[in-house]
Amino acid sequence: MLYSPTKLFLFFLSCIVLLSVKYNTSGFVTAANSIGLNYGLLGDNLPSPSNVIKLYKFIGITKIRIFDPNMEVLNALRGHRDIAVTVGVRDQDLAALAASEEAVKGWFATNIEPYLADVNIAAITVGNEVIPGSIGSQVLPVMQSLTNLVKSRNLPIIISTVVAMSNLEQSYPPSAGIFTSQAREQLVPVLNLLSQTSSPILVNIYPYFPYASDPANIRLDYATFATEDIVVQDGPLGYSNIFDAMFDAFVWAMEKEGVKDLPMVVSETGWPSAGNGDLTTPEIAGNGNFVKHIASGKGTPKRPNNGIEGFLFATFNENQKPVGTEQNFGLYNPTDMKPIYGLF
């Protein structure tokens, strides 16, 4: 029997993902070599959520992240408890929620409670890259209220937030990693709360952006996991890819604030397949080396043999995002759901 290239791709993708993922009953990782997908909705040509869930099931994805409690997506997930979902609290809702614990209870009753029986809600993230920033101080009180709520209900739902590498004032070499003053003010109390609850901080790590900002001085193979050579030597630690260097710089910064051994989840990473000339091609975006790195379980030089949990960004190209690379981070074409490149 002959299969189309698309079906063969999906078959091999499902095999790889199923081999690399293992979950406990709460939907979080026990054997931490796990890859999920971000499911963004900023497009006017996206498939229906029910068809997207069918795609995830077909290719063996068991972990997704959505950016707000979208009712249509959550309804499509009913009965599919083998897919663990991370649900975001919208940035624009933070002010009202930070001002009132009753408002947080109302938000939970409206957006989470109706789905608990048949949707595997593994985590709630409070804000997306709002720390450091003008509304960054609103994150902690909302996290505290949600943490108290899920604890009082004995619900196995992780409460955290998503932050960017912009929290670092310095990241090179990794051991010099240090937070900005505003990050110390807004992020460190969040990290201390997460330490108390043994919950991970979610960090967006994109090797593409430092490479694109300085391609003359950052090697492409260093940015895309395509070399085994040590490119950056940082004391006893040697780095052959910039992803590990960025990850460890954040770890170093946390340790300098007294936060040690806190788990980190890579909430977003990816490479655009178009939008910036020769720096963004399907061949570069689809080399698959990040997936191999995660599946290897070898961790980073600072956290060796400590598997990394990560979400690729994103499932589809989204045509309502800013024109350019932002529209081209998707693995799939939204109109026909075919892979844009052979990731694996």
Answer whether 262's CB lies under 8 Å from 202's CB.
Answer: no
- Token code pair at residue 241: 């890819």
- Written as one letter, the residue type at 185 is E
User: What is the Cα–Cα distance from 238 to 299, expressed in whole angstroms?
Assistant: 13
- Token code pair at residue 177: 């990693």
Annotation marks residue 268 as catalytic: yes
Q: Which of these is catalytic: 72, 129, 255, 283?
A: 129
- Token code pair at residue 151: 């604890």
Kindly report the number of other CB atoms within 10 A of residue 108's CB atom: 22
Burial of 253 (0-12, 13-18, 19+ CB in 10 A): buried
- Token code pair at residue 12: 């091999």
Of 9, 21, 41, 88, which Cα lies nearest the Cα of 330?
A: 41
Tokens 């009202």 label which residue? 96
Q: Which of these is catalytic: 72, 101, 102, 268?
A: 268
CA 177, chain centre distance (Å): 21
Annotation marks residue 228 as catalytic: no
Catalytic residues: 129, 268
